Amino acid sequence: MSQTASAPPPPAVQPGPAGPVASRAHAPERDVTEDTPRLLNRLQVVAVTVCLVFAVLAAVVQVLAFRADGRAADNTEQVVRVQEVRSLLLRADAIATTGFLVGGLEPADQRAAYDAAIDDVLGLLTDAADAQPADRAVLGDLNRAVSAYTTAVAQARDLNRQQLVIAIAYLNQAGSILREQALPAVDALVSANSARATDEMGGHHPSWLLGLALLALVGLWWTNRALAVRFHRRLNVGLLAAAGVVAVVAILGAANAGARASSNADTRDGPYRTAVDEAAARSAANDAKAAEALGLVNRGSGAVYEENAFDPAAAVVEENASPITLNAWRQYVEQHDVVRQRDDRGSWDRAVELATSEADDAPSALLAEVDATAAQVTEENAALATDGFSGGGALTLGLALLTLLGGLAAAGAATWGVNQRRREYA
Amino acid sequence: MSTRPILRPAAALLAAALLLTGCAGYDATVVPSAAPETSGSGGGDTTEPCENDGSQLASYAPRAEAANSADVEAIRARGRLVAGVAADTELLAARDARTGEIVGFDIDLVDAIAAAIFGVPQKQGSKYVELKVITAAERFTSLQEGSVDVVVRNTTINCTRWQLVAFSAEYYPAGQKVLVGTDAGIESIEDLADKRICAPSGTTSIENIQQIQPDAVPVTAGDNSECMIKFQAGEADGVSTDDTVLAGLAAQDPYAEVLDTEQLTAEPYGVGVNAQQTDLVRFVNGVLEDYVADGRWKQSYDTWLRPTLGVDVAPPTPVYGR
């Protein structure tokens, strides 16, 4: 086909017979008698609209995907942030409960470590509130629970220093506040932000782009067919060019969307999952250490704490920890078992001695190693996940812009193509 | 054809698109409400309803031959008496932070039993004792399982518990009283009207208070110590439970005192023993008689409880008949 082929004479403008009866009688001949300039105008509007709607919608799909990537990265950071809050709270509790066992002689460095953990928690709560407005109400509740927890710990410390038995009740109350008020709020934040992150990870839809392109191509094909019927030319170069542009930008956009969707899935199943699991293991490890200490603080209840608190926490560590953390954890468990054996055999003093020992091979130091290892693994993988989700954004945005420009070019080509017919008619 | 008519809707479409790609807001995060705790029966409760008509205080009369019974010989052969005790009840059984030892009124009695079994003076009795700290819930199971020889852990004798274990004769006549603030202006039960009185949930202490002073406002907590925390936090005006426990709580708070009233209920404390070891019960009852007769009981009471309770209490008269 060629635009240069001789065109048949355009159909003459035939005013239709007046009256509804005549109109109904000549309905089958309507296309023959239609006003050709008006028809060309309508076809041009259809073709341009198809190109522009495709361009805008396809660009919107890509911009939305770009923004979803950004939000996935932001939500991942929030997940890691609130999991860090969880880990630090339980780390602080493990330090406070273990320090309680040595009465008023809590080592200064342990006290400093507790204070640093709480300071970090308060800073992270502020950051989290800035990062996600939807979390602010729960973060406010969490902040109050943390304040109540630290107050109870401070009272327990003061009374313990005075060697009063009621101090144990205050320490238990602090633990209850932590586990019944603070941690449920943290868990809700982790759950909500994990769901948000996961939802946003699926923001790329190559099929949507291809579907939009298909609809646009159908619209251009229909326009071309309508022109062909009138002008006996099978193809219109302008419309063909427009279809080509639409197809090219759609394929480019879909290819990028497919690659990004695949990349996001890899990031979700890789570093993101590792970061989330490792943070859960880190929290659980500190929770287990707190249970070890509380089992000794509440003399005679060691077996109960072991069954109700330590064992479930240990199971979480075993299930979620990375190999390097798991190795450190199992070294801690060996020493923890010695603590329990001593307590179960009635050697409470020797159990406390080991549980509070500052030696490198004692439970406290081994648990600190677990905490540090897990924190590092979490941090590294969280950074990889965030980079993974936010990477490739420039290309996506560039393709969205290209889609818009391509749509405009396609509209221009369609306009030019229809104008060719208009000139032939004139 | 002019493209102007197309540009207008196109511009509108673009504007809508920009709006669509704007900030996405999330639903506010919500903390799921905690599932209500199911209140199970605890399982394994095989006791029958019964009435405490006074006969529950009757124990097995001492016999001289009980000292050489198989129950006692088994303890001698082991070389130590294993006693189930508390470690968090100030004045009755609590760890002395300076020495690390568990001390108190109940522990003195454990030492006396051990001294009698091994034939040594009271002060050396502790050398023949293994204190096993148990929770209140473990008092009867530990005896049934044989993990301890005796339980001396402020345990009230009643007919229901007799179905689980055996008891010595009463060794302390505890009873429910009320702890209040020293400057609260509360001098009597009548003054408790409109006052918030805390007692552990699931106990009869609150009901007892309300029967005597219906205008008192009940406040509940998990245990006695939690009630004391509420009292110290100003969330309760008083705490009501066994006077021995209140004495221990008051000893830790210079602004608290045990109200000097009649006991609201009788809570006779006894030494728990495995139900099959009646010879050990007879032996313990013999020790108790000597413990009271030679003044060690009063000495222990004066050391631990009297300074806080502020009243003289006579040792209970043993009742036998089983």
Q: Are A114 and A156 in contact (CB under 8 A)?
A: no
Closest CA to B209 of B159, B259, B249: B259
Reduce the DSSP state of residue A44 to 3 states and report it: helix
Average pLDDT in chain A: 88
Q: Do A40 and B100 touch (CB under 8 A)?
A: no
Say whether pLDDT at B36 is over 70.
Answer: no
- Alpha helices (H) in A301-392, listed in sequence order: 302-305, 311-320, 323-344, 348-356, 363-390
Q: What is the mean pLDDT of residues B188-207?
A: 86
> Position of tokens 């023949």?
B128
- Decide if A366 touches B, using CB distance below 8 A: no
Rounded-to-integer distance, Cα A247 and Cα A410, Å: 10
Q: Do B13 and A56 touch (CB under 8 A)?
A: yes
Q: What is the mean pLDDT of residues B108-113?
A: 97
- Decide if B252 touches A, using CB distance below 8 A: yes
- Decide if A131 touches B, using CB distance below 8 A: no
pLDDT category at A47 given cuts 50, 70, 90 is: very high
Q: Are B281 and B273 in contact (CB under 8 A)?
A: yes
Contact residues on chain A for B13, CB-CB shorter than 8 A: 52-53, 56
The vertex-A209 CA angle with A204 and A213, nearest 5°, equals 175
Average pLDDT in chain B: 88
Q: Do B17 and A137 touch (CB under 8 A)?
A: no
Closest CA to B85 of B62, B73, B101: B101
Q: What is the mean pLDDT of residues A321-349?
A: 94
Q: Do B88 and A71 touch (CB under 8 A)?
A: no
Residue A25 lies in a domain: no
Q: Which residue has the higher pLDDT, A180 or B3?
A: A180
Q: Residue B43: its pLDDT value, please? A: 43
Task: Compute the nearest-CA separation of A324 from chain B (Å).
Answer: 33
- Decide if A113 touches B, using CB distance below 8 A: no
In this prediction the ipTM stands at: 0.76
Closest CA to B126 of B150, B139, B148, B109: B109
Domain of residue A151 covers 37-425
Number of domains in chain A: 1
Sign of the C-alpha dihedral, residues A158, A164, A166, A169?
positive
Residue A19 lies in a domain: no
Rounded-to-integer distance, Cα A123 and Cα A256, Å: 38
- In angstroms, what CA-CA distances link A151 with A202, A288, B144? 43, 22, 41
pLDDT category at A298 given cuts 50, 70, 90 is: confident
Q: Residue A39: its pLDDT value, please? A: 87
DSSP state, residue B110:
H
B16 residue type, one letter: A
Residue A42 lies in a domain: yes
Let me know if the fold of B55-171+270-309 is the same as that of B174-258.
yes
Q: Residue B22: its pLDDT value, please? A: 58
Rounded-to-integer distance, Cα B89 and Cα B67, Å: 31
Contact residues on chain B for A166, CB-CB shorter than 8 A: 90, 225, 228-229, 249, 252-253
H or E element that contains B255: none
Closest CA to A373 of A325, A323, A314, A313: A325
Q: Are A264 and A202 in contact (CB under 8 A)?
A: yes
Q: Do A346 and B30 touch (CB under 8 A)?
A: no
Q: Do B135 and A301 touch (CB under 8 A)?
A: yes
Q: Are A264 and A201 in contact (CB under 8 A)?
A: yes
Q: Which residue has the higher pLDDT, B313 or B14?
A: B313
Contact residues on chain A for B252, CB-CB shorter than 8 A: 159, 164-166
- Decide if A338 touches B, using CB distance below 8 A: no
Orientation angle between helical segments A36-100 and A108-131, nearest 10 degrees: 160
Q: What is the mean pLDDT of residues B274-283?
A: 97
Q: How many CB atoms lie within 10 A of CB B286?
A: 19
- Decide if B74 touches A, using CB distance below 8 A: no
Out of A7-21, A254-268, A280-294, which region has the weakest mean confidence (pLDDT)? Answer: A7-21
Q: Residue B208: its pLDDT value, please? A: 83
Expressed in angstroms, the distance from the first to the final Cα of chain A is: 22
Rounded-to-integer distance, Cα A246 and Cα B209, Å: 84
Task: Compute the nearest-CA separation of A386 from chain B (Å).
Answer: 19
- Nearest residue, CB atoms, B28 vs list A137, A159, A349: A137
Q: Do A48 and B20 touch (CB under 8 A)?
A: no
Task: Compute the nearest-CA separation of A165 from chain B (Å).
Answer: 6
Beginning with the edge strand found earlier in the chain, give each strand of the sheet holding B93-95 in spatial order.
B88-89, B93-95, B102-103
Q: Where are the domains of chain B?
A: 55-171+270-309, 174-258
- Nearest residue, CB atoms, A349 vs list B17, B32, B100: B100
- Taking every pair of Cα atoms in chain A, the longest distance, rounded to a whole number of angstroms, is 113
Q: Are A56 and A406 in contact (CB under 8 A)?
A: no
Q: For A155-173, how does the pLDDT look when each residue is reduced to its tens digit (9 = 90+)?
A: 999 998 888 889 988 999 9
Does the structural domain B55-171+270-309 have CATH classification 3.40.980.10? no
Rounded-to-integer distance, Cα A158 and Cα B194, Å: 32
Cα-Cα-Cα-Cα dihedral of A102, A165, B231, B40, to 10°?
100
Q: For B138-159, how does the pLDDT look when each residue is reduced to its tens digit (9 = 90+)?
A: 889 999 999 999 999 989 999 9
A218 residue type, one letter: V
pLDDT category at A18 given cuts 50, 70, 90 is: very low
Out of A95-109, A214-228, B170-184, which region has the weakest mean confidence (pLDDT)? Answer: A95-109
Rounded-to-integer distance, Cα A360 and Cα A362, Å: 6
Task: Compute the nearest-CA separation of B151 from chain A (Å).
Answer: 13
Say whether pLDDT at A22 is over 80.
Answer: no
Q: Residue A285: its pLDDT value, please? A: 96
User: For an interface test with B, which of A163, A165, A172 has the most B Cβ atoms less than 10 Å from its Cβ?
Assistant: A165
Task: Compute the nearest-CA separation of A197 from chain B (Å).
Answer: 11
- Percent of chain B at pLDDT above 90? 62
- Decide if A183 touches B, using CB distance below 8 A: no
Beginning with the edge strand found earlier in the chain, give each strand of the sheet holding B272-273 in spatial order.
B129-133, B81-85, B150-151, B272-273, B166-167
Say whether pLDDT at A104 is over 80.
Answer: no
Which residue in chain B has the smallest CA separation from A61? B21
Task: Compute the nearest-CA separation of B289 from chain A (Å).
Answer: 30
Task: Compute the nearest-CA separation of A41 from chain B (Å).
Answer: 6
Does the structural domain B174-258 have CATH classification 3.40.50.12240? no
Q: What is the mean pLDDT of residues A348-360?
A: 93
Q: For A126-147, how does the pLDDT look when each residue is reduced to its tens digit (9 = 90+)?
A: 999 999 999 999 999 999 999 9
- DSSP-assigned beta bridge partners for residue B92: none
Contact residues on chain A for B30, CB-CB shorter than 8 A: 138, 188, 192
Contact residues on chain A for B92, CB-CB shorter than 8 A: none
Q: Residue A183: its pLDDT value, please? A: 95
- Residue B296 tokens read as 């060690």
DSSP-assigned states of every residue in A90-136: HHHHHHHHHHHTTTT---HHHHHHHHHHHHHHHHHHHHHHHH-GGGH
Task: Compute the nearest-CA separation of A53 from chain B (Å).
Answer: 8
- Strand B81-85 to B150-151 pairing: parallel
Residue A28 lies in a domain: no
Query: Using H for helix, E for strand and C for coil, what is the string for B190-231?
Result: HHHCCCEEEEECCCCHHHHHHHHCCCCEEEEECCHHHHHHHH
Residues 210-229 of B with CB under 8 A from A: 223, 225-226, 228-229
> Position of tokens 């709607």?
A53
Contact residues on chain B for A193, CB-CB shorter than 8 A: 29
User: Between A and B, how many CB-CB pairs are < 8 A?
Assistant: 121
- Tally of CA atoms within 13 A in the half-sphere of B262 that contains its CB: 5
DSSP-assigned states of every residue in A138-177: HHHHHHHHHHHHHHHHHHHHHHHHTT-THHHHHHHHHHHH
- Decide if B136 touches A, using CB distance below 8 A: no
Which residue in chain B has the smallest CA separation from A188? B31
